[in-house]
């Protein structure tokens, strides 16, 4: 068989597309656009193997436009101009539909060239990308396109595609395949929402099995680690890190452990350690200040041990952070202070706080009138902030036990001394 199984099974209609019901289900906007025949400039964004190219091909087949395909990894400005020049040919009189895969790899000059040709409507752009277009695509192009996000396909949807793939393979290979219980479901789960990867696994199993029974063990061998969808520079990286910290912040230790496992399985030990330290300071913070050295010790141990043993202290630290009391008063306080500084709200340091350790300081009035708190039992009323901010209040005590104890100490300390 020369044609890959994934291509042999490529859907010819929207109803045959696996998954993406949020885009292609009855009444959904993208489906209605396609069925109307009036196709605007589109950008399809999502992971590999979820139907972006397939849907673009279905759209192209349903229009009377001249279809041209380019890939952002290989095309240059000359390739784009060659496509656009075809508007003046007999074939291009009805308009051109340009399918541009991996648009994120075009540089700014190439994207500007593209922009010039999609503005007048003679070229309709359908672009696809595995990266977030709001980070990688020129803003002027984005403003002229409608972005649709494709999602990883659910295992139940993928399993149906796997069963169909085995049936198609029987025709192509002229063989009969007997599946051990759980084979289709395992491949569907292990592919990580990538239908193309699942179909490639089916093709490999069929080629290797001959007339034999397709076993679950063989399915595991061809699908190993394929469920991991992770790119240290891509959306998956930041999405997992975001979910990791939000789960700890939300006191859900089970979810936090799940996202830690995904980070560690991808070998991203440093990101897990960094986010743990951030969460301990930002989200537990002053509710339990002692957590910082504890988490730091766990991180140091993990980095010294390396994987796989690093998972042990990190799991302990994640559970500790997730189950600890929470307070964000520290980060709120410093962010409020930074806002004043960045907005130019400040003023001169009060004279009594200025440096007085040099000749002439007294003559200038620097450090004059400073009251040494220890001479007054640890606290004495005096101004510390610059005049324009003398009433500013950045830190507000949290409702947790530790900060309330600190607030009560302050009240006792200052009682009758104002």
Same domain, 382 and 408: yes
In a domain, 338, yes or no: no
Same domain, 118 and 25: yes
Buried b (16+ CB within 10 A) or exposed e, 333-355: beeeeeebeeeeeeeeebebbee
| 284 token code pair | 């537990």
Q: What pLDDT is recorded for position 205?
A: 85
Q: What pLDDT is recorded for position 333?
A: 96
| 219 token code pair | 């399915």
In a domain, 49, yes or no: yes
Same domain, 139 and 159: no
Q: What pLDDT is recorded for position 400?
A: 93
pLDDT in tens, 301-341: 999 998 899 999 999 999 999 999 999 999 999 999 999 99
Q: For residue 194, what is the domain's CATH number?
A: 1.10.8.60
Q: What domain count does the chain have?
A: 4
- If DSSP codes are grouped into helix, strand and coil, which group holds residue 42? strand
The residue ranges of the chain whose pLDDT is under 70 are 1-3, 91-94, 210-212, 224-235, 356, 358-363, 365, 416-418
Closest CA to 321 of 366, 368, 288: 288
In a domain, 8, yes or no: no
Question: 262 near 240, Cβ under 8 Å?
Answer: yes
Same domain, 71 and 115: yes
In a domain, 377, yes or no: yes
In a domain, 228, yes or no: no
Same domain, 134 and 194: no
Same domain, 96 and 128: yes
Same domain, 273 and 362: no
Same domain, 57 and 73: yes
Out of 114, 149, 184, a domain closes at 149
In a domain, 337, yes or no: no
In a domain, 298, yes or no: yes
Buried b (16+ CB within 10 A) or exposed e, 64-91: ebbebbbebeebeeeebeebbebbeeee
Same domain, 96 and 164: no
Segments forming the whole domain that contains residue 209: 155-223
Question: 414 near 379, Cβ under 8 Å?
Answer: yes
The torsion angle over the Cα atoms of residues 156, 158, 163 and 169, rounded to 10 degrees, is 180
**Which phi and psi angles does 383 have, rounded to 5°?**
-80, 135
Q: What pLDDT is recorded for position 62?
A: 79
In a domain, 123, yes or no: yes
| 90 token code pair | 């007999």
Same domain, 317 and 246: yes
The count of C-alpha atoms lying within 13 angstroms of the C-alpha of 155, restricted to the half-sphere facing its C-beta, is 12
Out of 149, 169, 189, a domain closes at 149
Q: For residue 296, what is the domain's CATH number?
A: 1.20.272.10
Q: What pLDDT is recorded for position 183?
A: 87
In sequence order, what are the residues at sequence separation of 6 or more whose Cβ sits closer than 8 angstroms to the Cβ of residue 329? 285, 286, 395, 396, 397, 398, 403
- Give the predicted TM-score (pTM) of the model: 0.64
Same domain, 132 and 170: no
Q: What pLDDT is recorded for position 312?
A: 96
What letter would DSSP give residue 97?
E
Same domain, 27 and 111: yes
Q: For residue 40, what is the domain's CATH number?
A: 3.40.50.300
Q: What pLDDT is recorded for position 277?
A: 96
């Amino acid at each position: 068989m020369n044609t890959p199984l994934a291509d042999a099974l490529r859907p010819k209609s929207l109803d045959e597309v696996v998954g993406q019901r949020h885009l292609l289900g009855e009444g959904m906007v993208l489906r209605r656009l396609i069925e109307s025949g009036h196709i605007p400039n589109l950008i399809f964004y999502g992971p590999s193997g979820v139907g972006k190219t397939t849907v673009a091909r279905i759209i192209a087949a349903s229009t009377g436009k001249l279809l041209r395909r380019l890939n952002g990894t290989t095309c240059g400005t000359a390739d784009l101009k060659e496509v656009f020049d075809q508007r003046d040919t007999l074939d291009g009189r009805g308009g051109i539909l340009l399918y541009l895969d991996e648009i994120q790899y075009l540089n700014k000059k190439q994207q500007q060239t593209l922009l010039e040709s999609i503005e007048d409507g003679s070229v309709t752009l359908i672009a696809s990308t595995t990266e977030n277009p709001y980070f990688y695509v020129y803003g002027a192009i984005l403003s002229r396109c409608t972005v649709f996000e494709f999602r990883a396909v659910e295992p139940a949807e993928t399993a149906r595609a796997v069963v169909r793939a085995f049936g198609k393979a029987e025709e192509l290979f002229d063989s009969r395949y007997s599946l051990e219980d759980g084979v289709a479901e395992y491949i569907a789960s292990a592919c990580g929402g990538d239908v193309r990867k699942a179909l490639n696994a089916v093709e490999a199993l069929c080629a290797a099995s001959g007339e034999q029974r397709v076993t679950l063990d063989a399915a595991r061998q061809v699908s190993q680690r394929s469920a991991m969808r992770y790119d240290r520079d891509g959306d998956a990286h930041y999405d997992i890190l975001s979910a990791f910290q939000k789960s700890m912040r939300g006191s859900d230790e089970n979810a936090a452990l799940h996202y830690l496992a995904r980070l560690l399985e991808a070998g991203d030990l440093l990101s897990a350690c960094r986010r743990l330290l951030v969460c301990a300071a930002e989200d537990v913070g002053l509710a339990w200040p002692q957590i910082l050295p504890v988490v730091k010790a766990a991180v140091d141990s993990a980095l010294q041990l390396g994987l796989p043993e690093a998972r042990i202290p990190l799991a302990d630290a994640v559970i500790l952070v997730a189950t600890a009391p929470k307070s964000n008063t520290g980060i709120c306080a410093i962010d409020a202070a930074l806002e004043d500084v960045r907005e130019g709200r400040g003023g001169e340091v009060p004279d009594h706080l200025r440096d007085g350790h040099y000749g002439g300081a007294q003559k200038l009035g620097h450090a004059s009138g400073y009251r040494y708190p220890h001479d007054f039992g640890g606290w004495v009323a005096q101004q510390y902030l610059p005049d324009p901010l003398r009433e500013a209040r950045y830190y507000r005590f949290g409702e947790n036990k530790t900060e309330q104890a600190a607030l009560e100490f302050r009240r006792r300390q200052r009682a009758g001394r104002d």
